[in-house]
Copies of this chain bind each other. A is one copy, B any other.
Amino acid sequence: MTARPAFGGIEAGGTKWVCGLTDERGDLVATDVIPTTTPDETLGRAVRFFAGHETIRAIGVGSFGPLDLDPASPTHGSITTTPKPDWSDTDLLSPLRQAVGVPIALDTDVNAAALGEWRHVAGAGLHSLCYITVGTGIGAGAVVGGRLLHGSGHLEFGHLRIPHDTARDPFPGSCPHHGDCLEGLASGEALRHRWGRPAEDLDDPAVWHLEAEYLAHAIANAAYALAPQRVIVGGGVAQHPALLPRLRERLARDALRQQAVVTW
């Protein structure tokens, strides 16, 4: 490692944790990918990655959840009740704090992504944007007036109600709570359930036509309810090459306001 690390970051996912160190300018100087096993083992490896770098000034953590993000709560900084075995009530911050005595910020993975996009990538110069991830599930984070939108907890954007023409798409939806909410119709899990194979293996144009329609509804709703200057779409499902062209076409047809430029 040549440059002195100034900032640390963790993307704490259910499958893997990606840890990174950057220099003063935010350029990466070191990374480590840790498989998500038990909390002790995973957090232990993350602590070892950051420990000993005396020049680190702050660490940002974007984590899977649900998270206790209420600063007034005694369990602030913990994962609360997750279906992921062993991880309920895991305190994410204390082990890091003890090992590295610097300020540590925690937010949801999508909020961290929204903030990162806004500060460093697609959002430069904007005061608002909405980042939507279409992966196993669907989530979103928003920056409004230069700050992450927190409101009462995090956004539950995946559960938006959108039009569902059951004559054309009889699939009842995969959301355990709502059936055919946005996530129930358009997430990676929904695609796998509806078509019987993972999204990356689906090539029928009809699949991506329908998917583009559902995501266009979601983007329209984000634009109408939040009025962001830009909407950014990420996540595994968004990587499929058949999706973006259809989505752009569909959004143009809906005459969505120009401000809601969609970038990948």
Contact = CB atoms under 8 A, between A and B. Distances in A.
A194 interface: no
Interface stretch (A12-20, A90-98, A142-150): A142-150
A151 interface: yes
Interface string A172-203: 00000110100000000000000000000000
Given A144-B144, A144-B149, A163-B164, A225 B228 contact: no
Given A144-B144, A255-B177, A227 B163 contact: no
A257 interface: yes
A124 to B, nearest CB: 16
A225 B227 contact: no
> How many interface residues does chain A have, given as a range?
35 or more
Interface stretch (A23-31, A48-56, A216-224): A216-224
Copies of this chain in its oligomeric complex: 2
B161 A227 contact: no
Contacts of A244: none
B151 A229 contact: yes
Interface string A45-72: 0000000000000000000000000000
A180 to B, nearest CB: 8
Interface in A87-146: 127-128, 140, 144-145
Contacts of A228: 151-152
- 8 closest Cβ pairs, A-B complex: A151-B227, A152-B259, A225-B225, A161-B217, A156-B224, A152-B229, A128-B151, A152-B227
7 contacts: A145-B147, A151-B228, A156-B257, A160-B225, A161-B163, A163-B164, A221-B221
